[in-house]
Structure 1
Amino acid sequence: MKLTAKQATLIVLIAAIALAPLLFPSNYYYRVGALICVNAIAVLGIVILTGYAGQVSLGQAGFAGIGGYACALAPIHLGIPPALALPLGALVSAVLAFLVGRPILRLKGYYLSVATLGFGILVSMVLNNEHQLTRGPDGMEVPDLGLRGLLKDIGLKLSDSQFWYFFSGFCLLIAAWTALNIYNSPIGRSLRALHDSEVAAGTVGIDVARAKLQAFVVSAIYASVSGSLLALQNKLVTPDVAGFMHSIELVTMAVLGGVNSVLGAIFGAAVLTLLPQVLTVFAEYEQMVLGLIMIVVMIFLPRGLLPSVLRKFKKGGA
Structure 2
Amino acid sequence: MQKKLNIGLLIVIFILLAVPFVVPNSFYLDLAIRMAINAMIVLGLNLLIGFAGQISLGHAGFLGIGAYASAVLPTHFGWHPLLAMLGGCVITGILAALVARPIFKLKGHYLAMATLGLGIIINITLRNEAQWTGGPDGMPVPPMSLFGTEIYSDKTWYWIVAALLVIAVWASQNLIDSPFGRALRALHGSEVASQVVGVNVVRYKVSIFVLSAVFASLMGSITAHYIGFVSPNFADFFHSIELVTMVVVGGMASVFGSLVGAVLLTALPQALTSFEGWETVVFGAILMGFMIFLPKGIVPTLAAKFGKGE
Q: TM-score, normalised by structure 2?
A: 0.95
Farther off after superposition, 69-78 or 36-45: 69-78
2:21 is matched by which residue type in structure 1? Answer: L
Shift in Å at residue 75 of structure 1?
1.0
Residue 28 of structure 2 is matched in structure 1 by: 29
Residue 110 of structure 2 is matched in structure 1 by: 111
Farther off after superposition, 21-30 or 277-286: 21-30
Residue 154 of structure 1 is matched in structure 2 by: none
Structure 1 SS opposite 2:170: helix
Shift in Å at residue 215 of structure 1?
0.8
Q: Distance in 2 between matches of 1:193 and 1:77?
A: 45
Residue 262 of structure 2 is matched in structure 1 by: 269
Farther off after superposition, 43-52 or 139-148: 139-148
1:116 is matched by which residue type in structure 2? Answer: T
Farther off after superposition, 158-167 or 25-34: 158-167
Shift in Å at residue 48 of structure 1?
0.7
Residue 198 of structure 1 is matched in structure 2 by: 191
Q: TM-score, normalised by structure 1?
A: 0.93
Structure 2 SS opposite 1:314: coil
2:44 is matched by which residue type in structure 1? Answer: G
Residue 93 of structure 2 is matched in structure 1 by: 94
Structure 2 SS opposite 1:106: coil
* 1:296 equivalent among 274, 289, 296: 289
Which deviations, in whole Å up to 9, do the C-alpha atoms of 1:254-299 show, x marking residues without a partner? 1101121111111100000000110001111101111111111111
* 2:202 equivalent among 184, 209, 228: 209
Which aligned runs of 4 or more in structure 1 are off by greater than 6 angstroms?
A: none
Farther off after superposition, 298-307 or 272-281: 298-307
Shift in Å at residue 311 of structure 1?
2.7
Q: Distance in 2 between matches of 1:105 and 1:8?
A: 36
The count of aligned residue pairs is: 308
Report matched runs for 1:9-88 at 5 Å: 9-88=8-87
Which deviations, in whole Å up to 9, do the C-alpha atoms of 1:146-205 show, x marking residues without a partner? 239759xxxxxx972111211111111122222111101111111110000001001111
Shift in Å at residue 305 of structure 1?
1.1
What is the alpha-carbon root mean square deviation over aligned residues? 1.7
Q: Does 1:174 align with 2:173?
A: no
Q: Contact conserved, 1:43 with 1:265, CA < 8 A, in 2? A: yes
Q: Distance in 1 between matches of 2:252 and 2:221?
A: 23
Q: Distance in 1 between matches of 2:264 and 2:238?
A: 17
Shift in Å at residue 5 of structure 1?
3.0
Q: Contact conserved, 2:61 with 2:120, CA < 8 A, in 1? A: yes
2:39 is matched by which residue type in structure 1? Answer: A
1:210 is matched by which residue type in structure 2? Answer: R
Q: Percent identity?
A: 46
Residue 185 of structure 1 is matched in structure 2 by: 178
Shift in Å at residue 19 of structure 1?
1.1
Residue 214 of structure 2 is matched in structure 1 by: 221
Q: Distance in 2 between matches of 1:43 and 1:3?
A: 21
2:107 is matched by which residue type in structure 1? Answer: K
Q: Distance in 2 between matches of 1:178 and 1:164?
A: 21
Which deviations, in whole Å up to 9, do the C-alpha atoms of 1:206-236 show, x marking residues without a partner? 1101111111001101111111111011010
Report matched runs for 1:143-182 at 5 Å: 143-147=142-146, 150=149, 160-182=153-175
Q: Contact conserved, 1:202 with 1:208, CA < 8 A, in 2? A: yes
Q: Distance in 1 between matches of 2:304 and 2:18?
A: 25
Q: Distance in 2 between matches of 1:169 and 1:137?
A: 31
Q: Distance in 2 between matches of 1:184 and 1:255?
A: 21
1:209 is matched by which residue type in structure 2? Answer: V
Structure 2 SS opposite 1:267: helix
